Chain A
């Protein structure tokens, strides 16, 4: 399974849990969970799917939660890359 698919699967698993919770908790619950536990790289991958691939494969609740998920800072450029550039 590719890493992108894994991110989709993990996000959808979280959404599945919150689907069973009271509707008012849904998007906020998913977003809070991802904000609390997902490292920026993982959130970047998620936003890549949302922003650049139309959120394909993602549960509707994940898409509803997306605006509430913290956008990570852009990936850090390693010092070596700055030197060579």
Chain B
């Protein structure tokens, strides 16, 4: 094993289709016009010495090391900033160049410490490499004069010297090692788009500075790691590298956080993970990362991980550690007993959107083939099930239409109900890059999210709608487009059903859908909405990106259809730069849906009532499948409270914390006789469990994740599972205990079964993925390299379907008792229920969930910033601390749900999307009042958690 090689071409690739031929060191080479001489040389295998250039950022031309000579031109131009031209004859090594480079290196080294042996970058230092490359043998200048290297000079304190900044939990900044190449500053600007870093001072005083000479942690830095990756020396270094040393091998794998699905190199020393470095060939992230994927992997070795299976009779008993065999036998016996006693349909399961496709496939297979029913669901139920339904109805396929690269070609972007800089940060960086190039942005969100106004990004329009009025707003946009004749008739006539369009157009054109009519309802100024609609319809390639702010409403599915209508009406489907793009929450939520996790669908979105599909699986699995849809998660809980649903197998999902109306969830779980939880930690759901099966992390298993752009990416095992087994093995062993004759020896065999049964995965195999890197489904005979963009020659369903979208007010209404609207979201440093990120140093950025409220609402209630407040709804109440801010409008309050003590879902109700039962997290009528501390429920629940985490023979509770 060795490190995965990555070539640094020095400058980014040129996009031109026109090719240019030149000669470098006697080699003739042909490259696209606009390529730098440095990059062209590297393409020919010639490494021109360089320090300030790296291909993640634009050429800068400051280090003066990459100089070349060009026949017929004067001087020694920098190869990084000099573009190729036809017929150039370039020399990269001449006696003149040699002596210039040596002189430059000598100056660099004259102000750089010579502690190479004990330096953390030893073995990975470009400065050291370049000193070697130019043959530096002597440094004539000592440290007696001005320098940044020594804390004391000539017995005096050296004012130029700065101590290390170790404030960031994951990396250090050592100014004494900085060569002021500006790579970090440019990475922060160009790649991440945060502009947190700058060069302060001039000339010899120049230094990298986070913000206004602040510490990293106190600056605007979002800890994405791009600067650390760009640094050629030990100036910015991962603390893990300082502690462990340089990695000796690396493996390409896929991040297990959000739905962007970034590719990383897991850099290893033996089985110890040294660091995660974003992989430049990763097609979702193109070499970029965020604080979670890059740094927040410490949960995988956290002491809270449960490594032995456990059982208990009653949920009030302490846990008892047992062998795996006993755990499987007990679970199998309990499930069979329950089915014997209460019927075949009295048990079910939940697949994990955090686990691999292969694991998800096995869990739904266990339920359909082993339990003999279709009571399987997944957390997509509570996030993007309306996307599946809405896009299925309108386009014919349940997924986003584009790849992430598409954003590089967009001209106008609508971001609705999503907060990409926090929820999907790497996509946000790519979007911001395009916005800085001039693309226009329309934000539709109750809250002033960061994208509305951030350095060098300014939304053209922010429509601050009232929570729950998405359909009214999107339909009003359509009203403007139709009544002002801005629709794309040619596209509609070619691709869609014209009579359905006419019906829809007549519907949206009704005056009651006009922005002027709906303004009172939505709170969006009519003129602003009209201007936004005109911009979207006429501004070139229009793309729509949306998140859970669209789906998690009682009209979630209707809004998805309204978005699809808008895209079709403006002809923004089927090519680069356009499309409808759901930003999916969890790493494999797309995959879990693809793999047949929904109770009505077999893998590949084929309805369970379809005889020919069932037959494929019946033949292969040797069973008869039930042709009726099964229960969805909320229906399972309802059935449990009613007494007809008694047992559940939950893999990698914490429904008690993440699902709405906590009291209803806990009542459902408490009514069951056998709750089996498979997870890394004793999560909140495990408080109600009878069997706990330890799970494994993404570092400990092989498999695939499918991201929000339908990209199937490999997950590769880099260490032995601490609990002994990968999750797919645990499911297989449980299946065997239940009498199923499964015998998979590797997840590759499971993928082969998926490919053999599911047409959209027909060509997918581990060998193929190793060869091509990743593919976007459908990947079959017709699309052997996958499908980056869908609906290119017509819609999957044939003709695009326009559907009327009538606004219906949610039943969750404000009134005198509950006058404010609560909406929920997430924050950059934390992920979902926080089970992983809370067990990393990311808590430094977000120790607790806070309630954002407008100063006006706060003042009315006598609440100051930081006060404890009681947050009450019709469903329940909790307490948390207030954060007074005008990011939210008056009448709207906002919180995150990353911490279990907050219990934000005690507040949310059981209202849900009409089509899919996706819960209405985003709208809850609430009242807020000052409080002294935790509510009774919080106190009781805390005690329950403490009690239910006792393990026999262990003194301390696990959390």
8 Å CB contact of B914 from A17, A22, A38, A75: A17
Nearest A-chain residue to B557, judged by Cβ: A17
* A36/B914 in contact, CB under 8 A: no
Kindly list chain B residues whose C-beta atoms are within 8 Å of the C-beta of A40.
345, 628
* A37/B344 in contact, CB under 8 A: no
* A16/B914 in contact, CB under 8 A: yes
Kindly list chain A residues whose C-beta atoms are within 8 Å of the C-beta of B122.
none
* B629/A38 in contact, CB under 8 A: yes
Instruction: Kindly state the separation between the CA atoms of A17 and B471 in the bound complex, as whole angstroms.
Output: 12
Kindly list chain A residues whose C-beta atoms are within 8 Å of the C-beta of B803.
21
* B804/A3 in contact, CB under 8 A: no
* B341/A3 in contact, CB under 8 A: no
8 Å CB contact of A76 from B344, B607, B629, B915: B344
Kindly list chain B residues whose C-beta atoms are within 8 Å of the C-beta of A17.
558, 806, 808, 914-915
Kindly list chain B residues whose C-beta atoms are within 8 Å of the C-beta of A36.
600, 607, 609, 629
Q: B642 in the interface, Cβ–Cβ < 8 Å?
A: yes
8 Å CB contact of A39 from B340, B344, B631, B642: B631
CB A75 to nearest CB in B, in angstroms, measures: 7
Kindly list chain A residues whose C-beta atoms are within 8 Å of the C-beta of B609.
35-36
Instruction: Kindly state the separation between the CA atoms of A33 and B811 in the bound complex, as whole angstroms.
Output: 21
Known A3-B641, A3-B642, A21-B804; judge A79-B340 contact (CB<8 A): yes
Kindly list chain B residues whose C-beta atoms are within 8 Å of the C-beta of A85.
none
Instruction: Kindly state the separation between the CA atoms of A16 and B631 in the bound complex, as whole angstroms.
Output: 22
Instruction: Kindly state the separation between the CA atoms of A13 and B803 in the bound complex, as whole angstroms.
Output: 17
* B345/A77 in contact, CB under 8 A: no
**Binary contact track B606-624/A, C-beta < 8 Å → 1, others 0:** 0101000000000000000
Q: B503 in the interface, Cβ–Cβ < 8 Å?
A: yes
Q: Is the interface of B mostly helix, strand, loop or mixed?
A: loop
B-facing residues in A28-85 (Cβ within 8 Å)? 33, 35-42, 72, 75-80
8 Å CB contact of B340 from A16, A37, A72, A78: A78
Q: B910 in the interface, Cβ–Cβ < 8 Å?
A: yes
Instruction: Kindly state the separation between the CA atoms of A78 and B607 in the bound complex, as whole angstroms.
Output: 27
Known A36-B600, A36-B629; judge A14-B340 contact (CB<8 A): no
* B340/A20 in contact, CB under 8 A: no
CB B372 to nearest CB in A, in angstroms, measures: 10
Kindly list chain B residues whose C-beta atoms are within 8 Å of the C-beta of A77.
343
Nearest B-chain residue to A83, judged by Cβ: B340
Known A41-B639, A79-B340; judge A72-B628 contact (CB<8 A): yes
Kindly list chain A residues whose C-beta atoms are within 8 Å of the C-beta of B630.
39
Kindly list chain B residues whose C-beta atoms are within 8 Å of the C-beta of A19.
806
8 Å CB contact of B806 from A9, A14, A20: A20
Nearest B-chain residue to A35, judged by Cβ: B609
Nearest A-chain residue to B346, judged by Cβ: A78
Known A36-B600, A72-B628, A76-B345; judge A1-B340 contact (CB<8 A): no
Q: B644 in the interface, Cβ–Cβ < 8 Å?
A: yes
Known A37-B629, A41-B345, A75-B343; judge A14-B915 contact (CB<8 A): yes
Instruction: Kindly state the separation between the CA atoms of A7 and B664 in the bound complex, as whole angstroms.
Output: 16
* A42/B635 in contact, CB under 8 A: yes
Q: B638 in the interface, Cβ–Cβ < 8 Å?
A: yes
Kindly list chain B residues whose C-beta atoms are within 8 Å of the C-beta of A13.
554, 914
CB A38 to nearest CB in B, in angstroms, measures: 7
Kindly list chain B residues whose C-beta atoms are within 8 Å of the C-beta of A16.
808, 914
A-facing residues in B338-359 (Cβ within 8 Å)? 339-346
8 Å CB contact of B341 from A1, A33, A80: A80
Kindly list chain B residues whose C-beta atoms are within 8 Å of the C-beta of A37.
600, 629, 632, 915-916
Q: B599 in the interface, Cβ–Cβ < 8 Å?
A: yes
CB A70 to nearest CB in B, in angstroms, measures: 9
Q: B917 in the interface, Cβ–Cβ < 8 Å?
A: yes
**Binary contact track B538-570/A, C-beta < 8 Å → 1, others 0:** 000000000000000010001000000000000
* B503/A39 in contact, CB under 8 A: no
CB B599 to nearest CB in A, in angstroms, measures: 7
Q: Considering residues A35, A42, A75, A78, which has the most beta carbons from chain B within 10 angstroms of its beta carbon?
A: A78
* A78/B806 in contact, CB under 8 A: no
Nearest B-chain residue to A6, judged by Cβ: B638
Kindly list chain B residues whose C-beta atoms are within 8 Å of the C-beta of A1.
910
* A78/B914 in contact, CB under 8 A: no
CB A62 to nearest CB in B, in angstroms, measures: 12
Kindly list chain A residues whose C-beta atoms are within 8 Å of the C-beta of B804.
20-22
* B631/A41 in contact, CB under 8 A: yes
Kindly list chain B residues whose C-beta atoms are within 8 Å of the C-beta of A79.
340
* B343/A39 in contact, CB under 8 A: no
Instruction: Kindly state the separation between the CA atoms of A10 and B912 in the bound complex, as whole angstroms.
Output: 9
CB B443 to nearest CB in A, in angstroms, measures: 27
Kindly list chain A residues whose C-beta atoms are within 8 Å of the C-beta of B600.
36-37
Kindly list chain A residues whose C-beta atoms are within 8 Å of the C-beta of B915.
14, 17, 33, 37
Kindly list chain B residues whose C-beta atoms are within 8 Å of the C-beta of A6.
638, 910
* B635/A39 in contact, CB under 8 A: yes
CB B503 to nearest CB in A, in angstroms, measures: 6
Known A21-B803, A33-B915; judge A41-B808 contact (CB<8 A): no
CB A45 to nearest CB in B, in angstroms, measures: 9
Kindly list chain A residues whose C-beta atoms are within 8 Å of the C-beta of B912.
10
Kindly list chain A residues whose C-beta atoms are within 8 Å of the C-beta of B375.
39
CB A39 to nearest CB in B, in angstroms, measures: 5
Kindly list chain B residues whose C-beta atoms are within 8 Å of the C-beta of A72.
628
CB A30 to nearest CB in B, in angstroms, measures: 11
Q: Considering residues B341, B641, B910, B914, which has the most beta carbons from chain A within 10 angstroms of its beta carbon?
A: B914
Q: Which residues of B pack against A, CB within 8 Å?
A: 339-346, 374-375, 503, 554, 558, 599-600, 607, 609, 628-632, 635, 638-639, 641-642, 644, 803-806, 808, 811, 910, 912, 914-917
Among all A-B residue pairs, the 10 with the closest Cβ atoms: A20-B806, A13-B914, A78-B343, A80-B341, A76-B343, A39-B631, A79-B340, A80-B340, A40-B628, A78-B342
Q: Which residues of A pack against B, CB within 8 Å?
A: 1, 3, 6, 9-10, 13-14, 16-17, 19-22, 33, 35-42, 72, 75-80
**Given known contacts A17-B914, A37-B916, what 7 new A-B pairs fall within 8 Å (CB)?**
A3-B642, A10-B917, A37-B632, A39-B599, A72-B628, A80-B340, A80-B342
What would 21 A/B residue contacts be, using CB atoms closer than 8 Å? Answer: A1-B910, A3-B641, A10-B914, A13-B914, A14-B914, A14-B915, A17-B558, A17-B806, A17-B808, A20-B806, A22-B804, A35-B609, A37-B916, A39-B599, A39-B629, A39-B630, A40-B345, A41-B639, A75-B343, A78-B342, A78-B343
